[in-house]
Structures are given as C-alpha cells and as structure tokens.
Chain A
Amino acid sequence: MSPARFCKGQGRMLRLILSKLLYLVPTFLGITIIAFSFVRILPGDPVLLMAGERGVTPERHAELSAQLGYDKSVVLQYFDFLWRLLQGDLGHSLVTKKPVMDEFLALFPATVELGLCAILLATLIGVPVGVLAAIKRGSWFDQVSMTTALVGFSMPIFWWGLLLIIFFSGILGWTPVSGRISLMYYFPDVTGFMLIDSLLSGQSGAFTSAVRHLILPSVVLATIPLAVIARQTRSAMLEVMGEDYVRTARAKGMPTRRVIGVHALRNAMIPVITTIGLQIGVLMAGAILTETIFSWPGIGKWMIDSIARRDYPVVQSGLLLIAALVMIVNLLVDLTYGLINPRIRNK
C-alpha cells in the first residue's frame, strides 16, 4: 500500500471515530436527562424511608430535604447534577453517605469479572458449536445443538440459577453457595478481580476457591448469550457458505477445511463479533438477576437494593454509568466492525 493511501486510510478511520463520538454527545445528554428525571419522579420520599415507622415532624422533614437539596427547582437540580457530573462528582449515597463513585468502583470489578467469564464461556462454546452446526447442517448435532440453544434462549435465568443451586450446591455439594471466595482466604485487594488477586496472593487453594465460586454464576449468566451466539454464528456461517465466492473456491477444488477456515469463518466473524458486543446490554440485565440469586457483590445487586431503598443518587448515577458503559462498548463494537469489515474500511 502506498504511503499516501495509508495516510488517507488513517484519516478516514479518524473521521469515522470522531463522527461516532460526536454522535454520542446528544445521546449521552439524553441519558443524563432520563436518569435524572426518573429518579426525581420515583415515588417514595427518601427522608420518610430513612425515618421508618418512627415518623418525622414536618420541620425536621423540611430541614432534611433542604440538606439533601430537594427543595430547589427541578431544573436547577438538573444543572447542578450535570455540572457536578462533568467534574466527576456523582453525589453521595443516601444510605451509606459515601461517595457513589467510590461504591461503584468497589463493586464494579466483581460484575466485570463475572461478565467477562460469562462472555468468554459463551464465546468459547457458542462459536465452535455454531460453526459445527452450520457445517453439519441438518445432522443430529445441528438439530440437538440448535434446540438446546433455543431452550437456553427461552430460559428464565432466575429460575435456572435457583435450580442449579439446589442441584449443585444443595444436593451434590460440588459448588459453594455464595460469595466470591472462601472466607478462609484473606488477601489485599490489588485489582479487585478475585481470579487475579488470588493468584497474586500466592496462597495455595485460593485460586481454586475463586474459580469454584465463579462457575455457577458464570454458567447462569452465560446461558442466554451462549444461545444467541451459537445461533447467530450458525446463521452467519450458513449465509457465507452459500455465497458465490465460497462455492467458487469449493468448485476450484480447495479443501473444505481451508475454505471454511480461511474464507467462510473470517467473513462470518464480522456479524458474530457484532453480536458478541451487543450482548453486553443483555449481560448487564442478566447480571442483575444473577447477582441477586447468588448474592454476588456487584453493581447489579447494588442497583436493585438502591431502587428499593430510594437511594436517589445511587440509582441516578448507577443508571448513568451503566448506560454510558453500554454506549462505549457499542461504540467499540461499531468501530471494530468498521475496521474489520472491508466494505466499510475501504469506502
């Protein structure tokens, strides 16, 4: 490739990235408005909730509301919120009085670890199964795997998790009941990822314990993405395999494996990678249910508890952070798609 063409290519890439980022700004603002307004219209006065059965006098109520800034006009409160947000201040939890950002950062690694393991599981199993099912189209493997995938896709994961707990933890006793690692192990939090920290600590058995604790929650969380990835991979493969250039390669006498490996798979991967990326949103939703069932100390459970307690600042900031996360991942997927899809790359 000539230097000029290379530079032009880079420039195009840059413009693509910039345009996508710019597109995000109004969306981001929209997200902040929604996060803010939802929380403001949540019924349930946090002051009253904190007082409980005891009750609170009107004066005290006014005092507390003023302290929390709820007496100013809603519009003012929004701009207050936005301004502080841009400075990185997400407010303080009404329940623990601690900065929301600190709480989020303390809990986030647990959810990320779970999510990563789940998506890894889903991809490592889903993609090969999908490819194989496409190659052996119509065989019993294809039928069985696709039916299983459909079942997985239709599964209420909160029930699925409960069943797995009853069976593997209750009856068989193979997996622990809850938590991220056995209480026996105590080591400092270096990265927040139990798998990494347990290895770093050097304590024998710590890593195994961390893995054992991760298995069931990952399996449950991975169920739906696995099903989707398997199905999508199969569809993508079938579509590609039906394309003219593949048939041409076959007709030319190229060995099947080479055809699949070199041509079909690479091109099928494009929509598959998009699918994997889009599962992030599904993972977040699934994390809420999975963390609730397994008492996994992550942000999914934190959000549910905060909604129930009307912890406004947490719900607001949590919604925002999660949506922002999904947006960023989608952007990355978009960019990756643009990068690897030759049709877009060379436009």
Chain B
Amino acid sequence: MKTLFVLASAALAMTAVTAQAKTFVYCSEASPEGFDPAPYTAGGTFDASAHPIFNRLTEFKKGTTEVEPGLAESWEVSEDGTEYTFKLRQGVKWHSNESFTPTRDFNADDVIFSYDRQGNAENPWHQYIPGITYEYYTSMAMPDLIKSVEKIDDYTVKFTLNQPEAPFLANIAMPFASIVSKEYADALDAAGTREDLNNLPIGTGPFKFVAYQKDAVIRYTKNTEYWGTPAIIDDLIFAITPDAAVRLQKLKAGECHLMPYPAPADIEAIRTDPNLKLDEQAGLNVGYLAYNTTQAPFDNPVVRKALNMAIDKNAIVEAVFQGAALPAKNPIPPTMWSYNEAIEDDAYDPEAAKAMLEEAGVTDLSMKIWAMPVQRPYMPNARRTAELMQEDLAQVGVDVEIVSYEWGEYLAKSMEAGRDGAVMLGWTGDNGDPDNFLSVLLSCDSAGEGGANRAFWCNEEFSALLKDAKVTADPAERTALYEQAQVIFKEQAPWFTIAHSTQYVPMSNKVSGFKMSPLGDFTFETVDIAE
C-alpha cells in the first residue's frame, strides 16, 4: 500500500512538473526493435535509439551528409590512408538512471568496447543476447576493413585499416557505430542483467531514456548535461502509430507535433491545412528497374535504351508517387555530391523506341517484370508501377508478364544467376557517400551471389573508376571519377531509373527548428514549440 502511495505521489509530482515543461510528441511509424543501435538496421529503431540517446565519433552535420566532429574532436589520417588517429572530446558525461550512476566521463575505453564487441567474436559481450548479429557492422565490411582499434591514451584512439577507404569517416558516423558505456556494461555484468543494455540504454546524447511501453509509447527527457548544445524541449515522446492515415489524423487533432512518411494521397490536404506545414526534400534513395544484362536480348545496350524510351516515367511519378518524387536520370539522387547534372535523360518516345527495337532485330519480345509485394521508401506501390510499364511496353509491341514473390523470396530469387526478367527494386543510402550506391548496386564485385547488383552488370571501365574513387581521399578527384562513372552508366543503361521519392515531413505550425536529414533520420534536439 505504501509503495502504491509513493508511486502515486511521484506520478503526480511528475505531471506537475511536466505541466510547465515543453513536451514534444513525435508520431513514429514503427516500434523500435531495441535500444542498442548495433544489432539492428531499421531507420525507425535508430530514430528511437541512436539519434536521441547516443553519439558517435563523427556525426553528420544536421540536414546534410557532411561529416563533422562528434565524440572525436579532431583526427589525423596517415599518408597511406590506413591509420586514423582520433582525439576524443573531454568532459562528456554519461547518462544515469535508477540503477546506474557513472563515476567517470566518456573516454577511450568506451570507444574500444563499442567496436570490439561488434567485431571481435571473443569479446564477452559479442553474444550478450543469444542469436544477436551486428548486421550493419558486417555489411559495411568493417570486419575486413578494420585491422585494429588501439587505445593510445585515455583520450586518443587509433584505428588501423587493412586498406585505404575514403568513406570511412562517413561510415563511423552511422548509427551502428554509436558509442556505449563500458562502465555501464560492467555494472550490468555484475548485476547479471546484461539484456538491459538493450532495454535500458545509457548514452551521451541529448536525450535520456525514461520508459518504453511496448508498441505504444517511448518517453525521453532532456539531458541537461549534454556536451553539445542542449535540447530546447524538456520532454520527448514517441507515439508509435504504424498507420499513415492515423498519424495524419493525430497530427491534425494536435495529438502529435510531427510525423514521418505521410501517404502521398494526403500531401495536398496537408499543404492546404492552415495549421500544418510541410517540409520536403529529395530523399537519398532511388527506385529502378534492373534488366538482366546477361540475358538476351537485354545484353544489347541499344535494346535496353529502347525499352527505357518506351516507358512514360512522368506518368509513373504522377500515378504511383502522386507527384511526390523526382523522375530519376542517374543512379544516385541529386542531393548526393558528385551528382552529374549535365547528363540528359532518355526521352519518352515510343515511336523511336519501336524503331530502335526493330533495328536491333527484336520482334515479338515477351519479358517478365518483377514487382515487389511490399511498400518501400523508394517505391510506394510496385504493382501499380509494373502495370503502368506493362501498358507502355505493349504500345511498342513488347508483351509483359508481371511476377511477384513473397518479399524474402523476392530478394533471394532476384539475385539468382540466370534470372528471367527485369527486376524492380531500389536503394536508400546509408552514409551519404556515392560509393554506398554505386559499388553496392552496380560494380562487378557485386554482380554475383551475395551481392546486390541485380542487373548482373559488369563493366570494367565503370568498376575501375569506382575502385579508384574509393582509395583517394581528395573530394574533387572523387567527384570527377563518379561523374564519369555516371556517363558510362547512362550510355549502357543497365537500369530504367524510375524516381527518387521525395521525403515529406508534415508538422504543426507551432514547430520550428526541425532539420530534415537527407538520410531520413529524425532528430529533435533542435526543435522548439511555440505556445
């Protein structure tokens, strides 16, 4: 009974405090898988864990894909590009909670721990949850890349790489590389509650974790001892609302202040609503249709070009994306540096397409188009898109059959050698580096099993350019190389590039200071609510 009374009065006290405090409510689109950023890959999970609670050695400058110092104040790169020495920030305080109070500031031990537990199978925390895997760490090729992470002194850490990697600084700004507290890990070890690293997170970030009601609500409170600019709002709440129509209703009703991923059909209504405003930006993504360049007649670039010219891209953008996208001409989006603006897109010209097909000796072509069964950020409705393509191609005498598989099977089968047909898919960038798009999706290395080059396209010149761009750290040199690569891509046309979907973020008029991230991150330390 007494505990109940204590709890009740504590709760009352809390409400009394929060009554005057600024509380920001974000209607998120998914439940977080967990609060330790390392084992997971979903953007929604990172919005709930990595961005509010943690920091990384380097961070992306808010609203851009430029890298700036984070927990590392400065760094030096060796001549050959394989040694990175980071000078760590001093005086950074860790969060505390009911069961843990830190006795020391952030230092090199935390950095070593954060990387070692992911990369080193011998580390006692490597499998702190049975069956755990560090997907991002492995897929960004960190195990092959990182030779060693050494502590030089309490505030200096040296990373030695196996080969030079220009995107490295961008990679370690990614959520999986969040720095966790070694002291907290040790305390949990002693208490026998290791899983709390994932349930009750302790970080250095602008917000402290308070509570999570599964699939319903996440609560954070401002970290008043934050090393950077402290947040303006006092309390942050994530109201988990998976349905886009419901999110909008809540936004309109004032139940939340900001929401992600509105349904394209609602964009107009949001624009005209006097109480709401809409931020928009081209997303760091691309949707494409990849031909099988090893299958005749798609091995002929002229045929691929002709098919590209037969499809009405703008109609797809209108009907499927409801105008909420930019028609794509390059494999990387315009918000990415080294985007080649000078390249001209294939015109929509069914007559010319027909002529080109005839010239190439292609008559009575039937082909398959694969359509995804699920909605993705770069493609709201693959089925509808495929239907539009089917109609367009029928106009030039090509008979299209639309096929689909269950999502996991789709991903697997689309990479099987000898796949029949053109596959629709897409990609969302991880770190704002062109290599993250081009190498992963179009290089020779990626054209086999385990890769993601669904066009099975292997162009020696193209891949060589990518390899060169990866090792040099000079941005100007890299830009030139990538621009040239895009020219080759356009000539060879292994894909029909569909669109870069626009990111929209509707919010209440009272909200100010929200910075849209090209990577699709949602961060709230800069937002303010007017009364």
Contacts and interface: CB of A to CB of B under 8 A. Distances in A.
B239 A183 contact: yes
Interface string A41-76: 001111011111111111111001001100000000
A230 to B, nearest CB: 31
Contacts of B214: 103, 106-107, 297
B415 interface: yes
Contacts of A261: none
A51 B25 contact: no
A58 B407 CA distance: 18
Given A44-B408, A95-B33, A177-B255, A295 B242 contact: yes
Interface string A201-230: 111000000000000000000000000000
B12 A186 contact: no
Contact of B411 (A43, A52, A60, A186): A52
B408 A178 contact: no
Contacts of B25: 183
A167 interface: no
B255 A58 contact: no
A185 B198 contact: no
Contacts of A170: 249
Contacts of B237: 183
A203 B16 CA distance: 10
Interface stretch (B124-132, B159-167, B308-316): B124-132
A200 interface: yes
A177 B14 CA distance: 25
A173 B254 CA distance: 12
B133 A67 contact: yes
B103 interface: no
A234 interface: no
A53 B451 CA distance: 9
B363 interface: no
A97 B450 contact: no
Contacts of B7: 187-188, 190, 201
Interface stretch (B215-223, B328-336, B395-403): B215-223
Nearest to A177: B249
Contacts of A58: 449-450
Contacts of B412: 45, 48
A107 B212 CA distance: 12
Contacts of A165: 249
Nearest to A200: B4
Interface in B280-294: none
Interface in B19-47: 25, 33-34, 39, 41
B404 to A, nearest CB: 13
A178 B249 CA distance: 9
Given A52-B411, A92-B131, A177 B250 contact: yes
Contact of A202 (B8, B130, B446): B8
Given A44-B409, A48-B408, A177-B246, A53 B449 contact: no
A183 B131 contact: no
Interface residues of B, number: 58
A11 to B, nearest CB: 42
Interface in B200-225: 211, 213-217, 219
A302 B7 CA distance: 30
Contacts of B8: 187, 200-202
B139 A51 contact: yes
A295 B499 CA distance: 31
Interface string A276-292: 00000000000000000
Contacts of A184: 15
A51 B411 contact: yes
A53 B211 contact: no
A341 to B, nearest CB: 42
A98 B408 contact: no
B428 to A, nearest CB: 8
Nearest to B211: A186
A176 B255 contact: yes
B452 to A, nearest CB: 4
Contacts of A169: 249, 253
B449 A202 contact: no
A139 B518 CA distance: 67
B243 interface: yes
Interface in A277-335: 295, 297, 301-302, 310
B131 A67 contact: yes
A49 B249 CA distance: 31
A237 interface: no
A71 B440 CA distance: 29
A48 B415 CA distance: 11
Nearest to B214: A106
Given A173-B253, A189-B213, A48 B133 contact: no
A64 B214 CA distance: 27
A260 to B, nearest CB: 45
Given A176-B255, A177-B253, A178-B241, 15 more contacts: A43-B406, A44-B407, A54-B452, A55-B446, A68-B131, A97-B34, A177-B246, A183-B237, A183-B239, A186-B14, A189-B213, A190-B7, A201-B8, A295-B240, A297-B214
12 contacts: A50-B135, A51-B135, A53-B427, A55-B452, A94-B131, A97-B33, A169-B253, A177-B246, A178-B243, A183-B239, A186-B14, A295-B240
Instruction: Give me the 5 closest cross-chain CB pairs, A-B, nearest first.
Output: A57-B450, A44-B408, A297-B215, A55-B452, A49-B408
Interface of B: 4, 7-8, 11-12, 14-15, 18, 25, 33-34, 39, 41, 129-133, 135, 138-139, 195, 198-199, 211, 213-217, 219, 237, 239-243, 246, 249-250, 253, 255, 406-409, 411-412, 415, 425-427, 440, 446, 449-452
Interface of A: 43-46, 48-61, 64, 67-68, 92, 94-98, 103, 106-107, 165, 169-170, 173, 176-180, 182-190, 200-203, 295, 297, 301-302, 310
